[in-house]
Amino acid sequence: MSTLTKPNHIGRKISRIRELRDMKQEALAQALGTNQQAVSLIENSETIDEEKLIAVAKALGVTVEAIKNFSEEAAINYFNNIYDNDISGSIVNANANHCSFNPLDKMMEVVDENKKLYERLLQAEKDKIEYLEKLLKEK
């Protein structure tokens, strides 16, 4: 068997992209409005019609061209380039995960919300005690 030409098996490409996106066949089936067996048939098909390919691409969150042009080697090179380390061993693009908000501010907002909730619960308990004491005095 010659390895010079690889068949353009669109189903395998869909399967591999789905796996790389950490998605199960059931999840893809749900996004497509079908069942797992139908997704299995798609992934075992060498070709699929354009309309179905557009729907699959949308469900996977990629373009049709990304599916058609997908190759395992390109994916490996892509990830190797992202995690290309400099001499000190730190990631070159350290600002890739830069937050657009201050995490400490968000944490303090949560603390304030919890404090307000606690105060409301405490007041509700005080109101209950007051009501029960009132009932006891009436008897």
pLDDT tens readout for residues 2-53: 445 456 889 999 998 898 888 899 999 999 999 999 999 999 998 899 999 9
pLDDT at residue 91 tops 50: no
Higher pLDDT, 121 or 105: 121
**CA distances (Å), origin 4, targets 1, 12, 72:** 9, 18, 16
Backbone angles phi, psi at 85, to 5 degrees: -90, 150
pLDDT band with cut points at 50, 70 and 90 for residue 112: very high
**CA distances (Å), origin 5, targets 1, 2, 13, 15:** 10, 7, 16, 20
What is this structure's pTM?
0.52
pLDDT band with cut points at 50, 70 and 90 for residue 137: very high
Residues 6+ apart with CB under 8 A from 48: 10, 11, 42, 56
